[in-house]
A and B are shown apart, each in its own frame.
Chain A
């Protein structure tokens, strides 16, 4: 496998940093009560979002989960519009109707939702559409280890395999579904092995190593673009935060968490950049500062942008006109 170039890795690092800093800032703001509802952050899982999306084109589609900020940023969302949506503002991606768990952006072909396991069939549908239209676009679905126990997981793998659809199933194994560990919920050790039942490749890789994520996804995307069908990827990682902000996390052993902090993807990538690619520490600081400035700008945009009018709640239940 070809080693990634310094430029490629720096670009990935910069995106991972953007996700981390953005989510940390959002967590802070949520803690002060400025964002309603629930808040699920993906700190520790950035390498998966970035390593996967580095293989994608603008015409490839993503279906995601309740923990979607990272995926969306990695796919290239306009950070200002996304932040405005989290703040419930009119200028947000969904005019304030969706919020943190329901982010949709056709310009990057992205959607997500709050029902665990619900994204998989939708991704099969995008894949079906691409195939019928004769395109070589691919459909990527992110889901957790918890979601892999929903019926939709099995039904979707079977359909995509049966119809040889260009779908990449990306399981992010962060060890938990809320308080329930994978050992408590899953009868098999590796979800990648479940691919055998559907006669498709199942690949398990280290989700905290962005290069490994990139390479594993690359093979799956190439296969899908050639019309050879779906792949199931399983990336192991760790959820550094609570399930949602405010989770007391009584179920997490402290040593496990500390071990995970040493193995988290950004620190690991920094080490590689510094030691193997000769990048200087100052360069990394500069990247962080630039990203932080972008975030501040997005937050300022969101905070100062107007609220939707209350009556706008009545709009968008149906498409205007509706008949073609």
Chain B
């Protein structure tokens, strides 16, 4: 049966069902217990599973993320929560040099079946240290799967797949999708009650169209969909590809779409340079250049930290208006 859930509810349901199914699964992180997660994603888990499986940690990211890795190597299946992705720096060594590489360095003798969930994104004035996306950083390091859902349905299915995956998976949850009172936006959607999985590495065409391809992920999928409605009113049909995971990357869906539309706009809430938008552009330049009828366009944060003040934050973040304008300019080229 399907019900309407918020993005945050879909995530907590996925974790609850996996914890019921497999006693090796447990959750730890800051304020995941009695608080229910700062972004409401862990509500109800503490009451259901108790303090042994829903563990409030001290503010010691390096230690508890590292402990997740060690526990995963011993055969448990930890879900570790990093409250904001921006705090990853505290635990960078554990993530980059251990979580990502132990499988490889051990020649496959060890695996790290762990999910590192984290909140991303700006758009509500939380400034430079609490508004970043950063998924490209983790996608850059070999050995980490990078999952980025945009809807409650995808969030549940992708999270269950991530928990069941024998590899380390980072799972990026945009704060503005969560559906909390104190944050703007928020998405709701139909979610089946029974557990289900979605494949990691399969992009989803959220809207089909013939005039241009917009490749994006997370919150920007919704911004792109809103822009596409406006474009459609003017006779421009955009095809919107929701990547859903950056690693593995579904190159085929992107290339097939570009072969159909001949125009590519990449929308990324991350920094412009050396990131997801550049990677997608490179893939299409390498494998689909002759399908293009116009240069590839990228819309991303223009290589500045996220400023606090609203007019400046609005200026650097991609939004519906900017996507509309960029798409329109691209089809007119």
Q: Which residues of A contact B (CB under 8 A)?
A: 35-38, 88-89, 92, 94, 96-102, 113-117, 146-147, 149-152, 177-180, 184-186, 246, 250-251, 307-314, 317
Contacts and interface: CB of A to CB of B under 8 A. Distances in A.
A249 to B, nearest CB: 9
B255 interface: no
Given A115-B90, A317-B305, A150 B60 contact: yes
Nearest to A90: B309
B318 to A, nearest CB: 13
A312 B125 CA distance: 16
Contacts of B129: 101-102, 113-115
B31 A88 contact: no
Interface in B53-87: 56-63, 86-87
A103 to B, nearest CB: 10
A98 B31 contact: no
A178 B312 contact: no
Contacts of A149: 58-60
B272 interface: no
Interface string B117-136: 00000001111111000000
B309 A251 contact: no
B87 A96 contact: no
B321 interface: no
Given A116-B59, A146-B58, A317 B304 contact: yes
Nearest to A35: B125
If over half of A's interface residues share one DSSP class (helix, strand or loop), that class is named, otherwise mixed; here it is loop
A179 B312 contact: no
Nearest to B60: A149
27 contacts: A37-B127, A38-B126, A88-B310, A96-B312, A97-B307, A97-B308, A97-B309, A98-B308, A102-B129, A114-B130, A115-B87, A116-B59, A149-B58, A150-B59, A150-B61, A151-B63, A151-B90, A177-B58, A179-B33, A179-B35, A180-B58, A250-B34, A251-B34, A251-B35, A308-B311, A313-B315, A314-B302
Shortest beta-carbon contacts, A-B, top 9: A36-B125, A99-B308, A96-B309, A88-B309, A310-B315, A313-B312, A37-B125, A185-B58, A149-B58
A114 B63 CA distance: 20
Given A96-B308, A98-B127, A179-B34, 11 more contacts: A36-B125, A94-B308, A115-B86, A116-B87, A146-B59, A150-B90, A184-B58, A310-B311, A310-B315, A313-B304, A313-B313
Contacts of A177: 30, 58-59
Contacts of B302: 314
Nearest to A313: B312
A96 to B, nearest CB: 3
Nearest to B62: A151
Contacts of A94: 308
A117 B30 contact: no
B215 interface: no
B305 A179 contact: no
Chain B CB within 10 A, most for which of A37, A177, A186:
A37
Interface residues of B, number: 41
Contacts of B307: 96-97, 313
A151 B303 CA distance: 30
Contacts of B312: 96-97, 308, 310, 312-313
B314 A310 contact: yes
A89 B309 CA distance: 7
Interface in B280-333: 302-305, 307-316
A307 B309 contact: yes
Nearest to A178: B31
Contacts of B304: 313-314, 317
A158 to B, nearest CB: 16
Given A97-B308, A115-B89, A151 B60 contact: yes
A311 B311 CA distance: 9
A101 B127 contact: yes
Contact of A311 (B305, B308, B315): B315
A227 B60 CA distance: 32
Contacts of A185: 56-59
A97 B306 CA distance: 8
Contacts of A314: 302, 304
Contacts of B315: 310-311, 313
A305 to B, nearest CB: 12
A113 B56 CA distance: 23
B213 to A, nearest CB: 29
B38 interface: yes
Contacts of A115: 86-87, 89-90, 129
Nearest to A94: B308
A92 to B, nearest CB: 8
B169 to A, nearest CB: 24
Contacts of A100: 127, 308
